Amino acid sequence: MSLNIIVLAKQVPDTRNVGKDAMKEDGTINRAALPAIFNPEDLNALEQALRLKDANPGSTVTLLTMGLPRASEIIREAIYRGADKGIVLTDRVLGGADTLATSYSLAQAVKKIGNYDIVLGGRQAIDGDTAQVGPQIAEKLGIPQVTYAEEIVDLSDGHVTVKRRLEHGVETVKAPLPCVVTVTGSAAECRPRNAKRVMKFKRAVSTSEKAKLSPEVQAFLDARPDLNIEEWSAAFVEADPQQIGLPGSPTKVKAIENVVFTAKEALTLDGGDDNAIENLIKDLITNHTIG
């Protein structure tokens, strides 16, 4: 059975390397000051997609990302790891989108791709940490969603069986296809870039990147469709201008504050090691500190 698999991915600022100029005065992220990387949990999602492809020869993995034209970098990265192709949804009018507008825009692009069996994405992106986009896309597409997926256990007979990693343990659920599955960081790590694929696809460029190249290189690329990364505009995916970008985003960032957690309470537990630890764990679970 060959599947049409869509992986949603985002190019994010590497928040693990944050400097003091990471935020602009208006409270939004200064992307220029941070290295851009493949959102880590989207890589976990890509691995699940590639495993589905391995198990179902003839399947296609399409990476879909919304962002600046340079987001073609993560498409190349995905292709090096085994994805078949990628689409960058990029348009000035999409800028400034919150999760509502983003999920609408991406849902429109997913519809445009059409005929998909499963849509995979990371649980959340490390820049916004909302975990809202995946579920909202499912909502807008009117299809089921499975969040916190750690492993796709099975896909057959029009259903997908997914192991979910939850706060208190694991849960295995079954959902009809097509559906949206968001994958957590505890899932299998993504496979590495493959040497031959890197050499084969290193010249892959997006439409706007191609426009800047010499006529000879463009002619070479015309003869190699596999090296062309599509760029889609808002109009191409038939997005309603009122539901995208700033107009479509009710969320306004007022301010971002640095919150420092400080311990306020101290508790001394008596008893033998085993006993005291067990009581401590129970207390922490009860007051929702952990678990």
Among 168, 196, 252, 264, contact with another protein (rule: CB under 8 A): 196
Select 159 or 202, whichever has its Cβ closest to another protein.
202
Residue 43: HSE in the Cβ half-sphere, 13 Å Cα cutoff: 20
Based on the shown chain and the rule CB under 8 A, indicate whether residue 130 belongs to the binding site for another protein.
no
Q: In the chain, which residue ranges form alpha helices assigned H by DSSP? A: 40-55, 72-81, 99-113, 133-141, 195-201, 207-211, 215-222, 273-286
Contact region for another protein (CB under 8 A) — 99-107, 153-161, 186-194, 250-258? 186-194
Position among 198, 230, 236, 243 found at the interface with another protein (CB under 8 A): 198
Indicate the residue among 201 and 232 with the shorter CB distance to another protein. Answer: 201
Least CB distance to another protein at residue 16 (A): 9
Interacting residue with another protein among 194, 207, 228, 243 (CB under 8 A): 194
The verdict on whether omega for the bond into residue 215 sits within 30 degrees of 0, i.e. cis, is no
Question: What CA–CA distance (Å, rounded) separates 146 from 175?
Answer: 8
> In degrees, to the nearest 5, what angle opens at C-alpha 6 toward C-alphas 44 and 152?
50
Site for another protein (CB under 8 A): how many residues? Answer: 11
Q: CA separation (Å) from 237 to 90, 233, 248?
A: 11, 7, 16
Contact criterion met (CB below 8 Å) for 229 and 75:
yes
Instruction: Identify the residue among 130, 197, 208, 247 touching another protein (CB under 8 A).
Output: 197
Among the residue ranges 92-100, 157-165, 174-182, 190-198, the one whose residues contact another protein (CB under 8 A): 190-198
Q: Which residues sit at the interface with another protein, rule CB under 8 A?
A: 191-200, 202
